Amino acid sequence: MSRSITCETVSVLNENKIRNGDIIRLQIVRWNNGKPMLEKRKYWFNDDGEERPGKSKGLTAQDFDIILQNSDNIKYVLEAKSNG
């Protein structure tokens, strides 16, 4: 039996398109209706143009600056979505 994996994007903090058309997002997400998490992930597109999640990525100095600039909102969203 296969397991269905779901991902809800709660908030996108930054998004960059890279050369091959893929996208890298710094975002807050909920996987399988779990607690929200801050993550950076690469997304790619299949032959039908559907977006698919790829591997998670490490944070850069630019990512850290974005997190610092949005820290109050990030904390609020993480806490609010964790509690209901």
Find the range with the poorest average confidence among 2-11, 37-46, 64-73: 2-11
Enter the pTM of the model.
0.84
For the chain, which residues make up each domain, given as ranges?
7-82
Q: Is 58 helix (H, G, I), strand (E, B) or coil?
A: coil
pLDDT one-digit tens code per residue, 20-33: 899 999 999 999 99
DSSP 9-41: EEEEEEEEE-TTS-EEEEEEEEETT---EEEEE
- pLDDT at residue 5 in the model: 85
